């Protein structure tokens, strides 16, 4: 409990907390605390790509038992921001659960260039383990690249491994990183033609019966149905028109408009994977999380267990249809219903007041830049081809070699340090020369070198966020910051990753015990 409280305090430290009925809530919970000394279960919920404004923009459409119940019975930290770059799923989940930033936990991206092996690595990828529950390599995952402990690890240590940890998410990294190094299990969804929940030999050698039963229950198949808006689409006045030029949609359907026949469309959209980019992926996650509570008997004894749930569909829907789409609105209205269902189940099984829930997000998202420019707001897309050509020319004319660069990824430039040495150049001179060149390029707003990151301490602004995301061992030599609302992405759908409010501002809600 100490650890959980310290996490909560730690989260509160970088947020402003406002509760609708602060005093009342505090009183009720103080008396709860006297009755039992710790929560039986902590449920950590991450809603992937949930901007803070989704809480308020769609508020009139939410019921009383989901988001609104959390705000009514608990605390709403209204000014909660991530304090590092890049705002991606891997770093987000690692930061929420470790209470640190990429500078310390080392998850500097979803994928990044590994300077020692000289290849791209995936944050949760692990070739030393085997898939469990599928023949596909989708199970070869573990948290080994995360360098610090999560609060779920600390709870395991504190309880002498008696308190359980189970992680659940459609995405492997959304299940694995929160559950930590000592988890009993992390489960994620394998789509394609299988549609089942899988894990890796990092946790176990075969799936428990409750997972096998769930996989053979055809729950996933039941969601391959028609997706239409939950309420009359004419009432969805909080989002843009259904038919516009800013949405991706699915292969096999001309327009990104309701309704979507998922059974039919699944054939051209990697089978069960289509569920990920629909609200039903979240429903399936809630179903599986409830099966986990039952199957693992979570929250039944006095020793605190932890269940981590990451709802990934909100991210897939956002990437596909964009921040302003009716599809995003419908996904949140339906997620609200899934949360209500989950909370009622927790009331029934663990008991009202005996569990603690927190809900946050791993990052926000930018409005689709092509939409923003259509309403005259400065925004757009980075011309990486032009940038690259200009840069090659510079490298050749300045250093007589373009292979001085080993890799460019996540807005970082990695130098071939051996080559730099062989050419008799100073590392910081090369970094500085590149920074002074890159700053002249279109849509490059700021450039910093690793030498600056290592020698200067920033406490405010984008620079401070860059520094919190900068891992001396893993990060690159030159760090680029793009113009506001300029992204490297398709002209449809939203993405994220910056130090700006649209990516850093996310909800943080607490309710239940304590």
User: In the complex, what is the shortest distance from the CB of residue 376 to Zn ion, in angstroms, rounded to a whole number?
Assistant: 27
The number of residues that bind Zn ion (CB under 5 A) is 1
Contact 347, 299 (CB under 8 A): no
Kindly tell me which of 194 and 315 has the beta carbon lying closer to Zn ion: 315
Residue among 23, 28, 30, 89 flagged as catalytic: 89
**What residues between 424 and 483 interact with Zn ion by CB under 5 A?**
none
- Cβ of residue 363: shortest distance to Zn ion, in angstroms? 7
Q: Single out the segment in contact with Zn ion by CB under 5 A; choices: 242-250, 309-317, 327-335, 462-470.
A: 309-317
Closer Cβ to Zn ion, 279 or 514, answer by number: 279
Site stretch for Zn ion (CB under 5 A), options 151-159, 285-293, 312-320, 503-511: 312-320
Beta strands, E only, 165-311: 165-169, 185-190, 196-200, 226-227, 260-261, 305-311
| Of 391 and 502, CB closest to Zn ion | 502
**Among 73, 126, 154, 315, interactor with Zn ion by CB under 5 A:** 315
Residue listed under structure tokens 């891997």:
90
Min dist. Cβ of residue 312 to Zn ion (A): 9
Q: CA-to-CA distance for 57 and 493, rounded, in angstroms? A: 19
Query: Least Å distance between CB 475 and Zn ion?
Result: 21
Which residue lies nearer to Zn ion by CB, 273 or 315? Answer: 315
With 0-12 CB in 10 A as exposed, 13-18 as middle and 19+ as buried, what is 234? Answer: exposed
Q: Which of residues 218-257 bind Zn ion (CB under 5 A)?
A: none
Give me the half-sphere count of Cα atoms (radius 13 Å) on the Cβ side of residue 47. 32
Q: Which stretch binds Zn ion (CB under 5 A): 260-268, 313-321, 466-474, 482-490?
A: 313-321
Which residue of the chain is nearest Zn ion when measured via CB? 315
Name the one range near Zn ion by CB under 5 A: 37-45, 62-70, 311-319, 444-452.
311-319
Q: Which is nearer to Zn ion, 96 or 291 (CB)?
A: 96
C-alpha dihedral sign at 333, 339, 343, 344 = positive
Of 315 and 340, nearer to Zn ion (C-beta) is 315
Shortest Cβ 92–Zn ion spacing (Å): 9
8 Å CB contact between 386 and 395: no
CB of 159 to Zn ion, least distance (A): 33
CA-nearest of 461, 400, 398, 457 to 432 is 398
Structure token digits, residue 296: 């693992």
Region binding Zn ion by CB under 5 A among candidate stretches 228-236, 256-264, 267-275, 315-323: 315-323
Helices assigned H by DSSP within 228-325: 262-266, 279-295, 313-321
Nearer Cβ to Zn ion (110/184): 110
Which phi and psi angles does 24 have, rounded to 5°? -60, -45
Q: From 131-139, 182-190, 282-290, 314-322, give the range in contact with Zn ion by CB under 5 A.
A: 314-322
CB of 319 to Zn ion, least distance (A): 6
- Interaction between residue 305 and Zn ion (CB under 5 A): no
Show the beta-strand stretches assigned E in 405-496: 405-409, 412-415, 444-449, 478-482, 486-487
Question: Cα–Cα distance between 420 and 427 in angstroms, integer?
Answer: 7
Number of residues assigned to the chain: 514
User: What Å distances lie between residue 126 and 102, 134, 200, 205, 359, CA to CA?
Assistant: 19, 16, 10, 16, 28
Provide, rounded to whole angstroms, the least separation between the CB of residue 89 and Zn ion.
6
Q: Please indicate whether residue 89 is annotated as part of the active site.
A: yes
In terms of CB distance, is 49 or 150 closer to Zn ion? Answer: 49
429-438's contacts with Cβ under 8 Å and 24+ in sequence apart are 430/399, 430/404, 430/477, 431/477, 431/478, 433/398, 434/477, 434/478, 435/478, 437/391, 437/394, 437/398, 438/391, 438/413, 438/478, 438/480
Using CB under 5 A, list all residues that contact Zn ion: 315
Active-site positions read 89
């Amino acid at each position: 409990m100490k650890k959980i409280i310290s996490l909560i305090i730690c989260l509160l430290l970088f947020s402003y907390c406002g509760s609708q009925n602060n005093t009342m809530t505090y009183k009720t919970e103080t008396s709860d605390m006297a009755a039992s000394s710790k929560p039986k279960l902590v449920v950590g919920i991450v809603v992937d790509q949930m901007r803070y404004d989704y809480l308020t923009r769609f508020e009139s459409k939410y019921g009383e038992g989901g988001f609104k119940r959390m705000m009514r019975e608990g605390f709403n930290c209204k000014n909660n921001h991530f304090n590092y770059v890049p705002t991606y799923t891997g770093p987000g989940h690692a930061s929420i659960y470790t209470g640190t930033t990429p500078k310390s936990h080392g998850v500097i991206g979803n994928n990044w260039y590994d300077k020692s092996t000289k290849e791209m690595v995936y944050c949760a990828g692990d070739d030393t383990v085997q898939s469990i529950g599928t023949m596909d390599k989708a199970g070869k995952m573990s948290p080994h690249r995360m360098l610090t402990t999560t609060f779920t690890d600390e709870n395991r240590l504190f309880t002498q491994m008696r308190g359980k940890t189970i992680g659940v998410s459609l995405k492997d990294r959304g299940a694995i990183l929160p559950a930590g190094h000592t988890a009993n299990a992390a489960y994620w969804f394998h789509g394609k033609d299988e549609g089942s929940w899988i894990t890796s030999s990092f946790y176990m050698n075969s799936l428990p019966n409750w997972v096998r039963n769930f996989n053979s229950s055809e729950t996933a198949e039941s969601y391959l149905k028609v997706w239409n808006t939950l309420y009359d689409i004419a009432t969805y006045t909080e989002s843009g028109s259904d038919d516009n030029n800013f949405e991706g949609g699915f292969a096999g359907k001309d327009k990104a408009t309701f309704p979507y026949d998922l059974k039919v469309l699944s054939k051209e959209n990697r089978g069960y994977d289509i569920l990920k980019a629909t609200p039903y992926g979240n429903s399936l996650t809630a179903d599986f999380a409830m099966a986990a509570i039952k199957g693992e008997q979570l929250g039944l004894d006095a020793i605190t267990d932890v269940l981590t749930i990451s709802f990934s569909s909100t991210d897939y829907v956002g990437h596909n249809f964009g921040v302003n789409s009716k599809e995003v609105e419908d996904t949140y209205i339906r997620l609200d219903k899934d949360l209500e269902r989950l909370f009622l189940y927790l009331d029934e099984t663990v008991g009202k007041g005996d569990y603690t829930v927190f809900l946050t997000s791993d990052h926000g998202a930018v409005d689709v830049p092509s939409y923003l420019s259509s309403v005259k707001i400065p925004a757009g897309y980075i011309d990486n081809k032009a940038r690259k050509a200009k840069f090659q020319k510079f490298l050749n004319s300045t250093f007589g070699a373009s292979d001085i660069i080993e890799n460019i990824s996540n807005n970082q430039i990695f130098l071939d340090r051996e080559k730099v040495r062989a050419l008799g150049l100073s590392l910081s001179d090369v970094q500085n020369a590149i920074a002074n060149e890159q700053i002249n390029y279109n849509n490059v707003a700021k450039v910093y070198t690793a030498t600056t990151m290592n020698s200067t301490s920033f406490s405010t602004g984008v620079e401070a966020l860059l520094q919190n995301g900068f891992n001396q061992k893993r990060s690159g030599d030159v760090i680029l910051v793009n113009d506001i609302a300029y992204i490297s992405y398709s002209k449809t759908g939203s993405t994220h990753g910056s130090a700006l409010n649209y990516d850093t501002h996310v909800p943080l809600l607490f309710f239940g015990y304590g």
